[in-house]
Amino acid sequence: MKLWHIFAGAGILLTWLLVSCSGDEGSEPPRSAITGHIQLEGIAAQSDVEVILRTASDSLVAQQTTPATGEFEFTGLTSGTYRLEIASNRESHENRRLENISVNVGQITHVGDLLLRQYTPIDDHLITHTTWTAAESPYRIDRRIKIEPGVILTLLPGAEIQFTAFGELNILGTLTAIGTRTQPIVFTSTALRPAANAWRGIYAASPAVNSRLEYTIVEYAKNAINSDFAGIDLFHSTLRYSDKGIFSESISRQQIVGNRIEANRIGVQTDMVSNIVITDNQFDNATNLFLEHSGARIEHNQFQGEQGIHVRAIREAAVTIIANQFVVNDKAIWCTVDSYPEVHQNNFLQGTYWIYSDFFYGQTTHGIDAYQEERDINATNNWWGTTRLADIRTKIWDEHNNTGQYGDQTFSYVQIEPVLLTANSDAGPR
């Protein structure tokens, strides 16, 4: 039997009790119960707490709400290992003692005290320079909280910020969140079973300046990082389990370097963005990059998942795709509507199409619209898994055809020669 406390779960520091037990060998697993009495000193008796039972693998078994001075009981349990969480929703950051907790599972009984420590609520906009620490974590945000213009919020290594469904951190000043490899800064949901869109995200808008996240984890948001007329630089961080990892629009610069961006619907989406640098990242999302009306330098990344890079209507904006590695299920690079990226020194290792050049714009309110493309796509000096041009061409879609009812279309050709004779050993994250 082990007794300890850690930060986790639904917006507070939860106390976990791990209890292991087993029945007689060869017998039917006994059915047992976990019962207990809670006494929280200094908290009104009518104040509720949540008692949550999980398996050792963290699956939810059951939960109950009980007064701070009350009893709880979970029945019909088989012998095994369980975790007991006691969660207080009071807006107090003092240590509280849970007294006379008795746990009876199978043949194992524990009676003792557990320690509960509550979250730090953030109720007001930040109007002075502020620092959040690991010691005062987790911080809880229930609504839109602004970092006002000129104000710096500094997060120290190990800090954790938890958000309810309407929670959002709105940067109008500066956010500096620099963790370490062993003590990342965490932005997460309070939900017991979180999923994408569980909270709104981190949102930077003008006049925000110089915001930076390094060694952070941002998860379960709508848009984990949303930049609108104000960029947020991201280094050595993890963005996961959100609808979009990054959504940036109308900004002139942004750096996304050395991150793991995974298990999102879209990894990075941009609109009207120039001078964005995307290098040395690991991507594994349904769609990894979607660049619209944007210029970017995309170098030394690894792309997995369904779609690699979708560029749309970039026109005269410069998009260079250099020394990346593509291991995707569908399209590695998908070009639509006036998009001519420079594609060189990449390794194309898996995918239905390496480059899919699809420029037809479709119907408009005035009839039919078909684009006459201005130039070809330069995709020379890449490794395509083979040097046989006929085999490579089966994975390049750049048809020139007549679609009948839609009229003539002219698509850009993809120029692939010369090709690399072997894989580029320098491709992918360094």
- Provide the pLDDT for residue 64: 80
The answer as to whether 300 is a domain residue is yes
- Which phi and psi angles does 261 have, rounded to 5°? -120, 110
The answer as to whether 369 is a domain residue is yes
* Residues 163 and 22 placed together within one structural domain of the fold: no
* Residues 317 and 397 placed together within one structural domain of the fold: yes
Residue the block writes with tokens 């929703």? 89
* Residues 46 and 172 placed together within one structural domain of the fold: no
* Residues 179 and 266 placed together within one structural domain of the fold: yes
The answer as to whether 336 is a domain residue is yes
Asked if 357 and 389 count as a contact pair (C-beta separation under 8 A), the reply is no
What are the pLDDT tens digits along the chain (430 aa)? 222 222 223 233 334 444 443 444 444 444 455 666 555 544 555 567 777 777 777 788 888 877 766 676 776 666 666 677 766 654 433 444 444 444 444 444 444 444 344 678 899 999 999 999 999 888 989 999 999 999 999 999 999 999 999 999 999 999 999 999 999 999 999 886 799 999 999 999 999 999 999 999 999 999 999 999 998 999 999 999 999 999 999 998 899 999 999 999 999 999 999 889 999 999 999 999 999 999 999 999 999 999 999 998 887 779 999 999 999 989 999 988 778 899 999 999 999 999 988 754 443 333 334 444 557 889 999 999 999 999 999 999 876 554 555 444 445 588 999 999 999 999 999 9
Q: Which of 96, 117, 138 is the last residue of a domain?
A: 117
The count of domains in the chain is: 2
The answer as to whether 384 is a domain residue is yes
Tokens of 357: 């050049």
Q: With helix as H, strand as E and coil as C, how does 208-243 read?
A: CCCEEEECEEEECEEEEEEEECCCEEEECCEEECCC
The answer as to whether 254 is a domain residue is yes
* Residues 132 and 167 placed together within one structural domain of the fold: yes
Q: What's the half-sphere exposure (Cβ side, CA atoms, 13 Å) at 376?
A: 13
* Residues 306 and 169 placed together within one structural domain of the fold: yes
The answer as to whether 425 is a domain residue is no
* Residues 378 and 404 placed together within one structural domain of the fold: yes
* Residues 129 and 256 placed together within one structural domain of the fold: yes
The answer as to whether 302 is a domain residue is yes
Q: Which of 60, 85, 117 is the last residue of a domain?
A: 117
- Provide the pLDDT for residue 338: 78
- Provide the pLDDT for residue 376: 82
Tokens of 67: 């007064």
Tokens of 165: 């469904």
Tokens of 217: 């984890």
* Residues 281 and 397 placed together within one structural domain of the fold: yes
* Residues 192 and 83 placed together within one structural domain of the fold: no
* Residues 144 and 264 placed together within one structural domain of the fold: yes
The answer as to whether 424 is a domain residue is no
- Provide the pLDDT for residue 26: 44
* Residues 105 and 127 placed together within one structural domain of the fold: no
Structural domain boundaries, residue 23: 2-117
How far is Cα 222 from Cα 266, in angstroms, rounded to an integer? 11
41: β partners: none
CATH number, domain of 368, equals 2.160.20
How far is Cα 189 from Cα 26, in angstroms, rounded to an integer? 42
Tokens of 160: 């954790």
Q: Which of 80, 95, 117 is the last residue of a domain?
A: 117
CATH number, domain of 101, equals 2.60.40
Q: What's the half-sphere exposure (Cβ side, CA atoms, 13 Å) at 281?
A: 29
